[in-house]
Structure 1
Amino acid sequence: MSQGKLKLVGANGGANASSTVNAAAIAAANRGAVDGANRVSLKSVFTSLTKNMNAVLSFLIREYGIGSCFKVRCIDIHYATGVSVDTVQRILTKFAYEGFLTKRKIRDGRFQGLEINLKPICNHYQNYILNEASVALATVTGFQSSIVSSFNKSTYSEEALKILAVTDEEIKSKYPSVAGIGFGTDQLRQIVDKRDKYGEHLNMLLMSLEYVNYEIENGGFKDSKGKPVEKTLGYIFQVLLRAGRLSKPEGFKTAEEQAADEVEEQLRAVKEAKKRKIDALYEIWLHDLSDEEREAILQKTNTPSTRYLRHYWDTNIYGQKGGGND
């Protein structure tokens, strides 16, 4: 897309929906290099979108997330948003031209539709709805309250709110390898938005991040053929979006389990040290035992001498001295 000014015209063709768009700001957003001036331009971009454009874009973000490819049909978007199929097609073409997404026609078995990938600018769009549009709806041209409320935190379950409270800094601290592949709060929010909307479970989502962190640090993920997964971020995102959890990896232990292992290891070490001490004391006693004392101890038993001498020492020497209370 060329730099400079482009004309973003609403898919319904209304002249009042036209708005001058700064292509450089969109390109900067997709590169992750947005400055103050670009933010102002992006706000102009977002407020210029028509009601139908907002309906389509917010639906795609909620349902499929940002940054990974997904398959969809225009008829599905129509059923979800009420926007006509023809208008959906024009909107998607416009969004692709402006840099909001990439799309291509695909045929996969019985499925015939589009493969779409929402670009990073959609993160800025989503953040704008959460942070600004929900506060000042009256100033935002084309936004519907229903679109904003779909992102409003008051609509989330208690479990969802707990997850949404996690910050990027916490992810970097608790799950450094997860953060290292680019997974952060944007991905968490997309997963929560989709799953919480339909009442699907979220209780294993944060624990699954521990599993992901462990897998990455221990060789990474493998596909069904045993080959390394190349696009780990997209793979993890889609699994969590679809299932809400990952299976516990073989060998994984929680922090509590690791702490328990350490305590058990300390206990084993203490017991082993105590046993070595007792054995050494017995060997000293046995070394100092005279022949007469040995015969006197063994004359009343038919038990093999080595075994009985140890029994005698344990009971009458070590035990009598209070050693059994160590």
Structure 2
Amino acid sequence: MTGAPRTVGFVGLGAMGLPMAQALLAGGFTVHGWDLRADSREALAASGGLPAESAAAAATGADALVLMVVNAAQAETVLFDEGALAALPPQGIVVLMATCPPAAVVAIAERVQASGRGFVDAPVSGGVAGARAAKLTIMAAGSDDSVAAVRPLFAALGDRIFHVGPTPGQGATVKTANQLLCGVHIAVAAEAFALAEKIGVDRGLLLEVMSGSSAASWMLRDRGPRMLQEAPEVTSAIDIFVKDLGIVLQAGRDARAALPLTAAAHQLFLASSGRGDGTADDSQVIRSYRVLNGT
């Protein structure tokens, strides 16, 4: 991606995708964006982007096609069923930034590369706050040439950019390990608060103690205060971790790796979702403990 204009097709203008597309606009890129939701396309237009009429239209003439969709199935639909890959110029690069199972990423990459186009597996971490601040962590896997070509794009989106390996799927593997730790950290923090609630210890005091002790973690400091609220602002939903920890468990099965803590955390998020809290902030997995403990 050299010279001007630098044109990006962007598919998936959701809670993270829209601020990412806006960050690209702020970085001087021309962005053609597509999302099924009209309000998301309108928000892109209000930021100076160019709403497309379809995924294929977003890919037409683009140097890179960024996919920030929900899952691998959506990525496949966009690329192969809705014609985005065929519409992407022959020298274009597909950049898959959604969290997907490593095996699924490998399969998608093989089909994209068979068409002669480039492919970079580049999941992100940092959530909505990181997307809005353009301070995402990006875990890119792909050939040196492909990653180098889209590095200016990454620089507009994040402040921690890692080339984790030459093979698509390696980025997804790093993100899988990241989500394992994130999900388990949230669940175990909720468990600590649940114990305090059961015994009658002040939760705010407990948070203050733990945040400055050896038990502290980024997740505790970020999610802990929200666990003390009844209905905190949603920055990452329960259902995101139902999906992501499901991906972790799938990767574990593929690798024949035992992941008992992940399985337990997944069940807690799944229970929260099953009770109707799937769209609540992920800190509210603590509600599953309250049900278990009768508090």
Q: What TM-score comes out, normalization by structure 2 length?
A: 0.28
Q: What TM-score comes out, normalization by structure 1 length?
A: 0.26
Larger Rg: 1
Greater strand content: 2
